[in-house]
Amino acid sequence: MLLDPLQSRALFSHALGRHYAVLAVNADSPAAVADVLDAALGVGAPAIIETSLWQLEGRAYGAGDAVLGLGRYLADLAVLANGARYAGVPVVFHTDHIKGPKTEAVLSAALRGVEVALSVGGGLLRASTVSVDASGLSDGENVALVCRLAEIAAAAGAPATIEMEAEVDAGQTPPERSRRLLGSVEARHPGVVWLWAPALGTRHGLGDGYPEFRVERVAQNAALAREVTGRDVGLALHGSSGLAAESLAAAARSGVVKVNWSSESLLLRSGAARDFYAARAAELEPGHPQWKASAMDNGVQSFVAARYVPRVAERMRLLGGEGQGPAFLETLRRGAAA
C-alpha cells in the first residue's frame, strides 16, 4: 500500500515508538523496486523506495527528463504497491538527493503531484515524502528551501512531509546547529519536517566501518528534534553502507527511523549481473539453444533477484522491521475507524 504524506508521518511515529527503522532503498529500475517489495513482503516489514535525480533522469525512467521520470516511477510503484500482492506492505515513496537548478521544479512536482492521463480519466501521482539535499547550501539557504517547499505545498493544498538535513558527510552536527536549523523552519512552517538527518559520523559511499559513529549521538539528536518540534521527528541515516551491523541495529533502537541504503545495494546488484553474464557468456552466441533465455532482461533480473532479495530482507530484519508492516497497517485501520 503506497502511503500518502500523512500516513508516512504515522509510519515514522510508529517506528520511533516501537524502536525500529525502515530501510530506504535507492532503487534504479522497476526490477529493483519489485525486489525490495518482495523482500518487505517476506519479512512483513514496511519499505521506503527512494530515488535521486540520477535515477529520475536515467534510462529506466525519465531518459533525461526528471519530472517525466517522477511520473513513470510513481505510476509503476502505485500499480505495484496498491495491487493485491503488496496490499499488506506499507510503502513510502521518497525523493532523495535532488540538487542543482532543477531542484525546485522536481520537488514541486513531487509535492503537488504529476498529472497523468489514464485509459479512462486521469490522476495525480504524488510523492509520499521529500528530502532537501543540503550539500552545497548555506544553513540560511537550506532553511529557505525547506520553507519554500512548504509554501509550494500549502498553495497546492497538499500536505508536505519533509526530511531536512545538515551536512550529512561532515563529521557530527553540533547540537546548537541542529537547534538553529530545525528551529528556524519550525518558527515559520511548523509541522512540515518529519525526518531529521544530522551528520552522525557516517559518509556516503562504501565506508570504512565508521569508528567515529556513536549511538549516543543518535539518541541525543532524536531528543533534540523532539524538544525543538514537540513531535515524533525521527532521524534519517545517510551513508549506512559501511556501518557495522551492530551499530545499525543500535541506531534503529535509538531514534533512527529511516536508513538510506544505496552503495552496497548497487554493488550487490551489479556484482550479480556481472556473474550472470560471465557464467552465460557462451550462451550469448547466435545458434546456442539457450541464447534467448540468457539474453532477455528477465534472465538477468531473475538471477539478480535471487541473490539480492535475501540481502534486503536481512537488512530489514537487522533494523527491527520484521512484522512491523502489518502491525502499522492495523494501527492505521484502527485510527481510521476511531
Q: DSSP class of residue 16?
A: H
User: In angstroms, what is the minimal distance from the CB of 168 to Zn ion?
Assistant: 6
Q: Is 317 in the site for Zn ion (CB under 5 A)?
A: no
Asked if 109 and 127 touch (Cβ cutoff 8 Å), the reply is: no
Q: Is 126 in the site for Zn ion (CB under 5 A)?
A: no
User: In angstroms, what is the minimal distance from the CB of 150 to Zn ion?
Assistant: 21
DSSP secondary structure, 293-317, as one string? HHHSHHHHHHHHHHHHHHHHHHHHH
Closest to Zn ion by CB, 187 vs 206, is 206
The rounded Cα 33 to chain-centroid distance in angstroms is 11
User: In angstroms, what is the minimal distance from the CB of 237 to Zn ion?
Assistant: 9
Closest to Zn ion by CB, 10 vs 53, is 53
Closest to Zn ion by CB, 37 vs 237, is 237
Closest to Zn ion by CB, 156 vs 268, is 268
C-alpha radius of gyration, the chain, whole number: 20
User: In angstroms, what is the minimal distance from the CB of 303 to Zn ion?
Assistant: 28
- Between residue 211 and residue 240, which ones bind Zn ion under the rule CB under 5 A? 238
C-alpha grid cell, residue 54: 540520477
Q: Is 94 in the site for Zn ion (CB under 5 A)?
A: no
Give whole-number Cα distances, 141 to 138, 197, 291, in Å: 5, 16, 54
User: In angstroms, what is the minimal distance from the CB of 195 to Zn ion?
Assistant: 12
- Between residue 235 and residue 294, which ones bind Zn ion under the rule CB under 5 A? 238, 260
The span from the CA of 201 to the CA of 205, in Å, is 13
Q: Is 203 in the site for Zn ion (CB under 5 A)?
A: no
Closest to Zn ion by CB, 254 vs 260, is 260
With 0-12 / 13-18 / 19 or more C-beta atoms within 10 angstroms meaning exposed / middle / buried, residue 186 is: middle
Which residues of the shown chain bind Zn ion in the complex (CB under 5 A)? 238, 260
